[in-house]
A = this chain, B = another copy of it.
Amino acid sequence: MALAPPKTAAALVIGNELLSGKVEEQNLVVLARALRGVGIALRRVVMVTDDVDLIAAEIRALSSAHDWLFTSGGVGPTHDDVTIEAAAKAFGVRVTTDPDVLAMIRAYYKERFTEGHQRMALMPEGATLETSPEVRWPTIRIKNTWLMPGVPEVFRMKIPVLLSRVGGGVAFVSTAVYTKMDEGVLKPLLDRVVAEFPDVDVGSYPKWADPTYKTKLTFDGREAARVHAARDAFVATLPEGEPQRVE
């Protein structure tokens, strides 16, 4: 019985600091691995500056072309945080203050509460506040779009909430073969396995200056039996002394 095609996702990474190289992007790989673990295929990532119209246009395009969209960054209270306004614009709704979140913020800051903090309670009208027993500070979701924070430590904290809602799919299966052969020599052997196993994603990654191997071959898919069959078929075509290892 063939599996249904996987759900798809896109990510929109927001922030001038990333495009200028001042800050190194760290959330994408965390998101990609989390989604992969529940069988969701991350298909496209776009990184843009803190521009409200640009972000709104991307949210509109990416959310309608994928099952899920995850944005990262721009959800704080300062002038460069425009993701909530952009999401509202994308879905044609207003920005409103959520009374429950406002109460949480007031309770947290107590006598230090300022008007600036009030902006942290803004959300697109009709959005849902997602929490889990372990992660009580809410994450904003509007339709299929999750507005995740950019701060890496906080982004990571929110992953369980996200998985509790979008999860439940069949995880992708991955296996790797390491060889000391170079890609030019491997090409005909790979072509053969690619032709024979169209449902398995075969990747080839040369490594520079590693004494233990030269090229890593990966075999990925959603049916373990097919993935392993593809790998074994490939390994059977290798010359004596290869592969170096299988993972």
Minimum CB–CB distance from A67 to chain B (whole Å) comes to 15
Q: Which of B117, B183, B194 contacts A116 (CB under 8 A)?
A: B183
Main secondary structure of the interface of A (DSSP, over half): mixed
A209-B76 Cα distance, complex, nearest whole Å:
17
* Chain B contacts for A202, CB-based, 8 A: 79-80
* Contact yes or no, A184 B114, CB < 8 A: yes
* Contact yes or no, A185 B33, CB < 8 A: no
Q: Is the C-beta of A129 less than 8 angstroms from some C-beta in chain B?
A: no
A129-B203 Cα distance, complex, nearest whole Å:
27
* Chain B contacts for A25, CB-based, 8 A: 25, 28-29
A43-B218 Cα distance, complex, nearest whole Å:
33
How would residues 41 to 69 of chain A score, 1 for a CB under 8 Å from any chain B CB and 0 otherwise? 11111111100000000000000000000
Given contacts A36-B20, A184-B120, contact A206 B151 (CB under 8 A): yes
Q: Which of B20, B32, B153, B208 contacts A209 (CB under 8 A)?
A: B153
* Contact yes or no, A29 B24, CB < 8 A: yes
Q: Which of B109, B187, B205 contacts A184 (CB under 8 A)?
A: B109
* Chain B contacts for A21, CB-based, 8 A: 28-33, 35-36, 42
Excluding A16-B201, A19-B41, 16 further A-B contacts by CB distance (< 8 Å) are A13-B45, A18-B32, A20-B41, A20-B42, A21-B31, A22-B174, A25-B25, A25-B28, A43-B49, A46-B46, A46-B47, A109-B184, A114-B188, A118-B184, A119-B187, A154-B208
The 7 tightest CB contacts between A and B, nearest first, are A21-B32, A116-B187, A117-B184, A21-B33, A116-B184, A45-B47, A153-B208
A residues engaging B (CB < 8 A)?
13, 16-25, 28-33, 35-36, 41-49, 76-81, 109, 112-120, 151, 153-154, 172, 174, 182-188, 190-191, 194, 201-209, 218, 220
